[in-house]
């Protein structure tokens, strides 16, 4: 079956979150969170290279629209996270580098800095991983975090990912420095 024929819902839910595909018009909410969180996002430039660029409502609206196209084409499943109670934008997660043939992908995430420490990203990651394995049939989900990004690493560990190793000098930061990456995986 062609990837494009896969029936994938636009939205899933967890206890506290609505997790859904980006839609046209989501750019301003993503921009507000990204602008408020730039210091945290820029702390690990090799992991978040897009945050090193100047972010704008237009650039993040473009991101949302392109992510929607990729979602529909089954090339990537970026998901926006919103609180059920009040609808506040929480952050972004999703599946990247989807390989339908080998049933594997990579997972990424970031959170509005004002909502960090509440377990919302861990909740979203668990829900996305369960959905990915049970509904999409993915057998392996990798998560790559800067070795010094302890918060991101803890999210992966809380979601059941196992550390497979440290990839030395795996990424190059915008300043040219080499960064080590912790490779985690959730495999069934």
Structural domains of the chain ordered from first start: 3-138 (3.40.630.30)
**Whether the predicted pLDDT of 45 surpasses 80:** no
| pTM (predicted TM-score) | 0.93
Task: Point out the least confidently predicted range of 34-48, 83-97, 118-132.
Answer: 34-48
- Side by side, the strands of the sheet bearing 77-83 are 11-13, 17-20, 77-83, 89-99, 104-111, 140-146, 178-187, 162-172
Q: What is the average per-residue pLDDT within 147-163?
A: 95
């Amino acid at each position: 079956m062609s990837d494009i024929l896969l029936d994938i819902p636009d939205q899933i839910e967890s206890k506290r979150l609505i997790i859904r595909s980006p839609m046209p018009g989501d750019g301003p909410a993503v921009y507000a969170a990204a602008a408020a969180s730039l210091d945290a996002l820029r702390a690990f430039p090799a992991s978040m290279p897009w945050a090193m660029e100047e972010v704008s409502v237009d650039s993040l609206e473009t991101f949302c629209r392109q992510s929607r196209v990729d979602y529909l084409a089954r090339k990537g499943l970026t998901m926006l996270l919103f609180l059920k109670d009040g609808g506040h934008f929480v952050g972004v997660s999703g599946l990247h580098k989807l390989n339908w043939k080998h049933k594997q992908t990579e997972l990424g995430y970031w959170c509005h800095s004002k909502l960090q420490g509440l377990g919302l990203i861990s909740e979203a990651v668990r829900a996305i991983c369960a959905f990915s394995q049970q509904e999409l049939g993915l057998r392996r989900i990798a998560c790559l975090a800067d070795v010094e990004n302890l918060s991101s690493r803890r999210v992966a560990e809380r979601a059941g990912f196992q550390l497979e190793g440290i990839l030395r000098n795996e990424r190059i930061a915008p300043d040219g420095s080499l960064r080590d990456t912790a490779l985690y995986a959730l495999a069934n």
